[in-house]
Structure 1
Amino acid sequence: MDPRTAPPALPAELCDMLHDAFSPDAPDPVADQRLKRRLLQTLARQATASHLTVPPTDEGWRAFAPGIQMKLLHHDGQAAAYLLRMAAGAVIPPHRHPQDEECVVIEGRLHIGSLQVPSGGFHLARRGALHESVQAPAGALIYLRGAAPDAAQLI
């Protein structure tokens, strides 16, 4: 194995704990739990570098539609996670969803046709469904996960 691509070695103390866990004696449940916790902590610490964190800054926001800004958080080729900041009175016209779209209202209140979704509320728009216009009378900040947003899909 190439040492440049080999996974990092486990700490010696953890290796000793693993060795003791595989002794022919009956396992000690407390020691077993301690071993599992230490092993998972070590593996999680090594995996943290592959995580994605987007800080809450003003960077990355771009115009999406009149009175609406968008900040793309992540796109994996299948689905996108993004924020929409809607100014007071902003409206997203009716549109279709090419895949399920999950929405959480972080701040403000959304009006989706006659339905109202308050701050902390969740809304799921099913794939293929026609969505009524979405309005934010007093402004709103929403988190969405679904198809990558495309203003051309608006009706």
Structure 2
Amino acid sequence: MDHPIPTPDIAAPDAEPVLDADIVDLLNGSATASTQGDALSMARVKRRVLARVAEDQRGQHLTVRAADGQWQPFGPGLSLKVLHECEGIMSYLIRLAPGASLPAHRHPIDEECVVLEGALRIGELEVGAGGFHLGRQDKLHMPIVSEKGALIFLRGAAPEATLLV
């Protein structure tokens, strides 16, 4: 028993139809298409279905805007803003005032760092805006200094205010 797919005109007058008329015709078998036409039609259907799924799942994502959240003191010349934490893994920002530093320390897991503004000196290594640094698990990390100030994004274990070796 055939169940034709409803034509797009049953949608509310101001709503975008769920499917284009040519797709409905193809699905109902009332139109024929070339292989290229089928591929283009399927790509269009896929694009619309994925857009609707993404719209439906929008609330399941997390967005933290620049003005959201609170900066908290983390040490002399340092402030920290948590973006997300789950199961001991944290994504956060650290702002270093000019001359601020972090002492030598170790990470319990690998820690990823992206310099968003300014520059860091890690031992003799200079990492500027746009640069990436990976602090390996259990390896001693040289002191980190920002002579002119910096903003960095980090992802790793929740940091401790007292970074001891």
- Is the structural similarity TM-score above 0.5? yes
- Structure 1: state its 5+ residue gaps: 1-10
- In structure 2, the CA distance between the partners of 1:87 and 1:12, relative to structure 1 (3 Å rule), is same
Judging by fraction of residues, say which structure has more strand. 1
Contact 2:103 2:163 in 1 (8 A): no
* Moved segments of 4+, more than 2 Å: 11-14, 16-23, 152-155
Q: Which residue of 1 aligns with 2:18?
A: 13
Q: CA offsets, 1:78-122, max 9 Å, x none? A: 411000000000010011010010100011110001110011100
- In structure 2, the CA distance between the partners of 1:22 and 1:97, relative to structure 1 (3 Å rule), is farther
The answer as to 2:132 corresponding to 1:122 is: yes
The answer as to 2:72 corresponding to 1:62 is: yes
How far has the Cα of 1:152 moved from its partner? 3.1
* Paired residues for 1:48-59 under 5 Å: 48-57=58-67, 59=69
Q: Which residue of 2 aligns with 1:7?
A: none
The answer as to 2:113 corresponding to 1:98 is: no
CA distance in 1 between partners of 2:60 and 2:25 (Å): 29
- Structure 2: state its 5+ residue gaps: 1-15
How far has the Cα of 1:154 moved from its partner? 3.1
Q: Which residue of 2 aligns with 1:38?
A: 48
Q: How large is the Cα RMSD of the aligned pairs? A: 2.4
How far has the Cα of 1:19 moved from its partner? 9.4
How far has the Cα of 1:137 moved from its partner? 0.5
- In structure 2, the CA distance between the partners of 1:67 and 1:13, relative to structure 1 (3 Å rule), is same
Paired residues, what number?
A: 144
- TM-score for both structures, normalised by structure 2: 0.78
Percentage of identical aligned residues = 45
- In structure 2, the CA distance between the partners of 1:98 and 1:13, relative to structure 1 (3 Å rule), is same
CA distance in 2 between partners of 1:33 and 1:69 (Å): 48
Please give the secondary structure, in 1, of the residue aligned with 2:44. helix
Contact 2:69 2:82 in 1 (8 A): no
